[in-house]
Amino acid sequence: MEVFCGSRFWDSNLSIHTDNPDLTPCFQNTILAWIPSIYLWTALPFYLLYLKHSKRGYIVLSVLSRFKTLFGVLLWCVSWADLFYSFHELLQSRTPPPVYFVTPLIVGITMLLATLLIQYERLRGVQSSGVLIIFWFLSVLCAVGPLRSKIMTTTAQGHVNERFRFATFYIYFALIIIELILSCFKEKPPFFSPVNTDPNPSPELTSGFLSRLTFWWFTSMAILGYKRPLEDKDLWSLNEEDTSKSIVQQLSKEWDKEKAECKQKEDVTYRKKSNHVLNHVGDGPDEAEVLIRDKKHNRKPSFLKALLRTFGPYFLIGSFFKLIQDLLSFVNPQLLSVLISFIKNKDAPAWWGFLIAALMFTCAVLQTLILHQHFQYCFVTGLRLRTGITGVIYRKSLVITNSAKRSSTVGEIVNLMSVDAQRFMDLVTFLNMLWSAPLQIFLALYFLWQALGPSVLAGVAVMVLLIPLNSAIAIKTRAFQVEQMRYKDSRIKLMNEILGGIKVLKLYAWEPSFSEKVLEIRRNELRVLKKSAYLNSLSTFAWISAPFLVALTTFAVYVSVDEKNILDAEKAFVSLSLFNILKFPLNMLPQVISNIAQTSVSLKRIQQFLSHDELDPNCVETKVIAPGYTICVKNATFSWGKDLKPSLKDINLLVPSGALVAVVGHVGCGKSSLVSALLGEMEKLEGEVAVKGSVAYVPQQAWIQNATLKDNILFGQAPNEQKYQNVLEACALKTDLEVLPGGDQTEIGEKGINLSGGQRQRVSLARAVFSNSDIYLLDDPLSAVDSHVAKHIFDKVIGPDGVLKGKTRILVTHGIGFLPQVDHIIVLVDGKISEMGSYQDLLKQNKAFAEFLRNYALDEGIEEDELTMVEEEEVLLAEDTLSIHTDLADNEPVTNEARKQFLRQLSVISSEGGECPNKMSTKRRVCEKKPAEPPLPRKNPNEKLIQAETTETGTVKLTVFWQYMKAVSPVISLAICFLYCCQNAASIGANVWLSDWTNEPVINGTQHNTSMRIGVYAALGLLQGLIVFVSSFTLAMGGINAARTLHTALLENKLHTPQSFYDTTPTGRIINRFSKDIYVIDEVIPPTILMFLGTFFTSLSTMIVIIASTPLFAVVIVPLAILYFFVQRFYVATSRQLKRLESVSRSPIYSHFSETISGASVIRAYKRQKSFVDISDLKVDENQKSYYPGIVSNRWLGIRVEFVGNCIVLFAALFAVIGKNSLNAGLVGLSVSYALQVTLSLNWMVRMTSDLETNIVAVERIKEYSETETEAPWIIEDKSPPEDWPSKGELEFVNYSVRYRKGLDLVLKDLNLQVHGGEKIGIVGRTGAGKSSMTLCLFRILEAAKGEIKIDGVRISEIGLHDLRSRLTIIPQDPVLFSGTLRMNLDPFNKYSDEEIWKALELSHLKRFVSSQPSMLEYECSEGGENLSVGQRQLVCLTRALLRKTRILILDEATAAIDLETDDLIQMTIRTQFEDCTVLTIAHRLNTIMDYTRILVLDNGTIAEFDTPANLIASKGIFYSMAKDAGLA
């Protein structure tokens, strides 16, 4: 080296042991000059590779770029001027040492390279280059030393030595500083880049390198979010590479590739196998070989591989950052030990200390920047994973076969999307811990061993022993969680039923019994919560005490093993900071492993779903067909799944173009299956099917989307006003539109809730008519509508003169009236076509068809609804899952568990669907008819029935915290804070004692009274642990208390809420209060508060310790605190609103998905898959649009808060150096090791504040619903009617008017009527005339607007609601059953004896059925009574009425849902059993009331006619015309 440089390379006297250090000229000219060059040359190959692949278009040459290049060239000239100067010296025979040739050469070439790189980057469209910024920064850094050195030598000598080199160096230094400054500015966006039509592009794309490194580009949103609550329009668009379009495309490609590879291998195997069979000459071994090979090859396609190929490379960049960060995290403890030895060494020059402090700060800042880059990569990978998985599942769900769909309920499929995709997202964040944790553990142990030797093993042993304790606690907690989930599920399920059947509960006055059931479950739930609270306090205790116990054992062992082992400050505090590093990986590792286990289950489920069979698109031939025909089926056999028995056998069918073909047959004979077969929805086992032309399909259960009525009809077609109006007219929707609040812009609720069954069916039909297709497959569209409407629709739409004449129509029907007008009739019997032909032909043959007519003719003119649910009707599922979905799908992974089970219970298709189709036939949900909504005045054209749920904005008021504290109880709240103070006092005490111990003087190489030192240290530490245990337990108990009081108040209020509230609020929203918000109060708020208090007090104690040891620090605290406070306010405001936006935009993904699954057959029939996929992608992107800034906001916060933390480290070290003479080593160690820990607590404290503010909203939401207005009291003590009231059963309406809700029109206007005891009254009227409203008034579900009702002379408005409702009997329109035993469904209060119940069952003809069940009265009804047929459910309601047997019976006749047989049974029973009672019947079928005493005809809320049936027919009024329609007059 000496020869090379011409002087010494290193001189420690010159550089280190001096108050004014300097570097040797040789060192300056070699190492320092070469560092930037070495960096650039190493980075170059990788960077060029990256640039080659990044295409962004080029950037136009700008002034900035010209200047950069100019200065680059100048630098090159300056460096080579040095080189030429050396040659010049050579010529002058002053031979300079070789270094003066080599260094300028290297530097010159590097500068030239940098200049070329500037231009190349410009051509590749790089706006701001990280590589070059770092290069210029290094150059400046390495030139600062020589600069100082040159100035120092010049001032010392008084003259300049080498004038030329001196000058060039100054020029060089100026130029690199200019280059560094210029490189920080960013260029304009590239030219020719794809045109960005984005209204709101993300500034990330165009931000510079430094801005990306510190996430500075996010600041604009943080400020905006602080000024006002963010809205959708403020969110930036997603980056191109994060959108569904690009991600799902990539993932699908990889998955298809993976499937193709497996398929190829399988094909090869089979080919081999078949060859062997062909030339089979009885050679045994060969055959055996094939079988073995077969097993090996037949691997399933692995979804994991596809995921790795798609997302792996991007994720690995993050892993690389993690590696650097792990290594950096061990630098600071080493620096701490250097700092402590520096403080001990009183003669050391002061600049050492400043250098150490600066290095600590630099190292910490680097660590922060790199760590957050790593997190950014991980989270974005997670985001992409979720997008990809969601998209792939959605696309799959559109092509999956019906048998595959039946193997999992809608709920489970939606769960794949919500829960399982979420699991991947959660795992990715910590996946790197798999290799990083062992690495960190190994390094920490290595350094500890160096400091303390073998006694470290004692500490590690304690750590290792704590792991099984922690995992045991975790396992137990999980068990408790599962148990609690069970209770929670059953509570939510019960609540869901209660809210679904709230009207029935009110009518029967059954609320107390159900309320008791809910509270019973809730008690159990809280009991389990309490148990897990004990465990949680234990684990908190373990978590807080672990580092302390480890330190205690290590130090105790170290000091006791050998007298000569001295515990000095350096050893103690360096070990402490290393133990703190160890804590995290040891805790994370078991968690990551269990996370991986969970995710692998999810992976299997997703893979299984993605490997399901798909519908064969070529099952129905669409091109070739016999001329003149549109549908042609030859010898075809179909089944619902490959393994199920065929539902249609040997079908032969030719339908000529333009024919109207009716399909008739008994329940479950395969009519709907035939339609599905033509759509290609069934498995074709043999034969061929051809359908030529576009298809429109009207399913039996109308599928309605959650959109406006107009959108439902247009269904993606271009609007055409004229045609649209004609369609509305034909489908009899004009009158309905007048009734709906917003006309055709009315938002139709989830599952079409605000339309009646008939309206839904007509909308579905209108959609088909509007689509103007060639072939119409109509699956019983007329069953759900009234008879006159059915006639209108047949005449105007389907029939020979309808809108559709000339199209091919296949109509499944029960209406015999229409059969004479059709061209062909197909009669199905048990899946075979028994006969075909025109009406006349079939009558002549006198076979199955004639018999079918005879059965139904009794009932001519009465529309019959098919009572089956042939299995494909999974359409129903959407009905229940949607509402809950929309609201439940908020953001905790934990509720997802609950939701999963919840939806599973909701799914209507029961498990036996697969094996035996016949059992299914009775399980069909009746279209619920809502009472006709009264005609509303049109206020504004798009007034929605369901008011949008408001999301709270802005800061959470302090009153909410106060309400929560009141619920916890103020005393407990104070106690908790006090306990936390004690705990921190103990913790500080222990550490101060330790620092005092390390300062104990060393006498003859040993320290005295070590045992006393260890004892006090242990006592203080354990005291701290104990207080932690007590405080966390107290907190948990307080939380449970609060949860109990809040839930009770909510439930109490909801059962007292009037019915009108339930009409305007979707069930999902109320359920959401009971599930999500109660969950938050139960399980989220207490731990959040725990963490918040913990981090708050930790940060506080750090400040106290640092100020105590270096009082100067107090000066810095104020500015740092202000900075911290600002960052925290900006972050909390923005992040809270982003979280709200995210959870609001998340539910539509799942509701749209479950809607899609339930309407898959309709979507496929209309060929709308593509647009539905686009809608889904759009919804996912909308959600990720608010999720992505959420991730970035955490990074933004992290970098800023950790910067505050790093400043604390810097100042703690600096002040320690400044006050070096007055401080001892122990105190410095204490204060700096505290400072090193503070970053984490500061960061978590902000997060917890934010979480707390986000979650405390739940308290507000529950409060809001606990304080809605209530109905009249259930029981009014001094006003209760006599025991036997009503004894006569007289009813009187006096000037009675009523409206549904404030602000709506009257539904009944000035009714005056009197009913004598024992009269039988029939109430009839067109839809919306106010028939149902009358019954609701009797029960005071609707309160009078004016006038009154008297029963036996008692004004019903004056008595308690339960007194009134329990004395009236009603058989409601839709039979509502609750899940539970049959006995509970009949008699929830256990008022009646078994004999009475059996007697009632006998009278209602259910006795045979019930006694045939093994469990008799304890027979379990499933939710909604799904395991009873509709008829049986109706009979159960009759049994309830018979048990009550009061003097007044109200019978709200089921519309079209019930079969005639059941109907006759009910009518007969009522006539015999309720002979002497007053009976009011709301009739839809006139033949049931023709023999009643009097008939009340309502029209538009007033009494039109009221007289005996005979008189009414004679007077030829409204009743007469109705009777004529029904063929009775």
Q: What is the pLDDT of residues 101-125, one digit of tens each?
A: 889 999 999 999 999 999 888 888 8
Give the other-Cβ count within 10 Å of 46's Cβ.
10
pLDDT at 865 over 70: no
- Burial label for 719, CB within 10 Å (0-12, 13-18, 19+), is exposed
Q: Tell me which of 537-551, 656-670, 779-793, 842-856 is least confident.
A: 842-856
Structure confidence by residue, pLDDT tens digits, 701-713: 888 888 888 888 8
Q: Contact, 1427 vs 1458, CB < 8 A?
A: no
pLDDT of res. 197: 66
pLDDT of res. 172: 92
pLDDT at 193 over 70: no
Of residues 1174, 1147, 1164, 1186, the one with CA closest to residue 417:
1147
Dig out the tokens for 118 from the structure. Answer: 């500037």
Q: Contact, 1184 vs 1221, CB < 8 A?
A: no
Q: Tell me which of 40-49, 679-688, 785-794 is least confident.
A: 785-794
Structure confidence by residue, pLDDT tens digits, 1441-1477: 888 878 888 887 755 545 666 677 777 888 888 888 8
Q: Contact, 715 vs 1168, CB < 8 A?
A: yes
Q: DSSP class of residue 614?
A: B
pLDDT of res. 308: 93
Q: How far is the C-alpha of 669 from the C-alpha of 829, rounded, in Å?
A: 5
Q: Contact, 888 vs 895, CB < 8 A?
A: yes
Q: Specify the 3-state DSSP secondary structure of 1481.
A: strand
Give the β-pairing of 648-656 and 808-812.
Answer: unpaired
pLDDT at 929 over 70: no
Mention every residue, 6+ apart, whose C-beta is less than 8 A from residue 1333. 931, 934, 1298, 1300, 1307, 1308, 1342, 1501
Q: Contact, 660 vs 813, CB < 8 A?
A: no
Mention every residue, 6+ apart, whose C-beta is less than 8 A from residue 1175. 1152
Of residues 329, 540, 333, 549, the one with CA closest to residue 437:
329
pLDDT of res. 321: 94
Residue type for position 780: D
Mention every residue, 6+ apart, whose C-beta is less than 8 A from residue 550. 459, 460, 462, 463, 579, 582
Of residues 802, 814, 880, 744, the one with CA closest to residue 1158:
880
Structure confidence by residue, pLDDT tens digits, 946-997: 555 555 555 567 888 888 888 888 898 899 989 999 988 998 898 888 888 8
Q: What is the mean pLDDT of residues 290-308?
A: 71
Q: Check the CA dihedral 166-172-173-174 and report its sign.
A: positive
Q: Contact, 823 vs 836, CB < 8 A?
A: no
pLDDT of res. 751: 67
Dig out the tokens for 1094 from the structure. Answer: 């913990």
Angle between helices 33-53 and 130-157 (to 10 degrees): 170
pLDDT of res. 247: 94
Dig out the tokens for 1324 from the structure. Answer: 């009839």
pLDDT of res. 389: 93
Q: Tell me which of 6-15, 787-796, 1168-1177, 1331-1340 is least confident.
A: 6-15
Dig out the tokens for 1254 from the structure. Answer: 């986000």
Q: How far is the C-alpha of 583 from the C-alpha of 1484, rounded, in Å?
A: 73
Q: What is the mean pLDDT of residues 1373-1388?
A: 82
Q: DSSP class of residue 1489?
A: T
Give the other-Cβ count within 10 Å of 1476's Cβ.
9
Q: What is the mean pLDDT of residues 1119-1144?
A: 87
Q: Specify the 3-state DSSP secondary structure of 1142.
A: helix
- Burial label for 1082, CB within 10 Å (0-12, 13-18, 19+), is buried
Q: Tell me which of 278-282, 360-364, 767-771, 1259-1263 is least confident.
A: 278-282
pLDDT of res. 310: 92
**Percent of the residues in the chain that have a pLDDT greater than 90, as a whole number:** 18
> Which residue spans within 436-501 are E strands per DSSP?
none
Q: DSSP class of residue 400?
A: B
pLDDT of res. 387: 93
Distant-in-sequence contacts of 512-520, Cβ < 8 A, 24+ apart = 512/1274, 512/1389, 513/1388, 513/1389, 514/1055, 514/1378, 514/1388, 515/1051, 515/1052, 515/1055, 518/491, 518/494, 518/1051, 519/1048, 519/1051
pLDDT of res. 1318: 83
Q: Check the CA dihedral 68-69-71-72 and report its sign.
A: positive
Q: Specify the 3-state DSSP secondary structure of 650.
A: strand
Q: What is the mean pLDDT of residues 1383-1412?
A: 84
Of residues 546, 377, 346, 576, the one with CA closest to residue 462:
546
Structure confidence by residue, pLDDT tens digits, 421-430: 888 888 998 8
Of residues 172, 601, 677, 199, the one with CA closest to residue 424:
601
Mention every residue, 6+ apart, whose C-beta is less than 8 A from residue 3. 97, 98
Q: Contact, 197 vs 214, CB < 8 A?
A: no
Q: What is the pTM of this model?
A: 0.77
Angstrom CA distances, 711 to 697, 747, 770, 804, 1346, stand at: 17, 9, 11, 21, 40
Residue 648 φ then ψ, to 5°: -130, 130
Angstrom CA distances, 1213 to 356, 360, 454, 1207, 1235, stand at: 8, 8, 30, 10, 9
286/606: higher pLDDT: 606
pLDDT at 921 over 60: no
Mention every residue, 6+ apart, whose C-beta is less than 8 A from residue 1083. 529, 894
Q: Contact, 1420 vs 1449, CB < 8 A?
A: no
Q: How far is the C-alpha of 297 from the C-alpha of 187, rounded, in Å?
A: 55
Q: What is the mean pLDDT of residues 1504-1519?
A: 85
Q: Specify the 3-state DSSP secondary structure of 811.
A: strand
Angle between helices 893-906 and 421-431 (to 10 degrees): 160
Structure confidence by residue, pLDDT tens digits, 381-413: 999 999 999 999 999 989 888 877 777 777 778
To which residue do tokens 């074709």 refer? Answer: 684
Of residues 142, 140, 104, the one with CA closest to residue 28:
142
Q: How far is the C-alpha of 1071 from the C-alpha of 888, rounded, in Å?
A: 8
Q: How far is the C-alpha of 887 from the C-alpha of 1148, rounded, in Å?
A: 9
Q: What is the mean pLDDT of residues 772-778?
A: 90
Of 211-215, 862-866, 1385-1389, which has the strongest mean pLDDT?
211-215
Q: Contact, 1062 vs 503, CB < 8 A?
A: yes
pLDDT of res. 196: 60
pLDDT of res. 953: 53
Q: How high is the mean pLDDT of the chain?
A: 82
In sequence order, which ranges of 564-646 are alpha helices (DSSP H)? Answer: 569-610
End-to-end Cα spacing for the chain: 123
Q: How far is the C-alpha of 473 from the C-alpha of 568, rounded, in Å?
A: 37
Report CA Rg, the chain: 41
Q: What is the mean pLDDT of residues 177-191?
A: 85
- Burial label for 916, CB within 10 Å (0-12, 13-18, 19+), is exposed
pLDDT at 943 over 60: no
To which residue do tokens 């905006």 refer? Answer: 224
Q: What is the mean pLDDT of residues 816-836?
A: 87
Dig out the tokens for 1492 from the structure. Answer: 């009643």
**Percent of the residues in the chain that have a pLDDT greater than 70, as a whole number:** 89
pLDDT of res. 1454: 59
Residue type for position 446: Y
pLDDT of res. 1279: 77
Q: How far is the C-alpha of 1403 from the C-alpha of 1357, rounded, in Å?
A: 34
Structure confidence by residue, pLDDT tens digits, 434-488: 999 999 989 998 998 988 888 888 888 888 888 788 888 888 888 888 888 888 8
Q: How far is the C-alpha of 373 from the C-alpha of 214, rounded, in Å?
A: 9
Q: Tell me which of 275-279, 364-368, 1157-1161 is least confident.
A: 275-279
1385/524: higher pLDDT: 524
Chain CA centroid to CA 1448, Å? 49
1466/1056: higher pLDDT: 1056
Structure confidence by residue, pLDDT tens digits, 81-98: 988 998 888 888 888 888
pLDDT of res. 922: 31
pLDDT of res. 297: 52
pLDDT of res. 891: 35
pLDDT at 907 over 50: no
Q: Contact, 1270 vs 1057, CB < 8 A?
A: yes
Q: Contact, 1397 vs 1383, CB < 8 A?
A: yes
The β-bridge partners of 778 are 698, 811
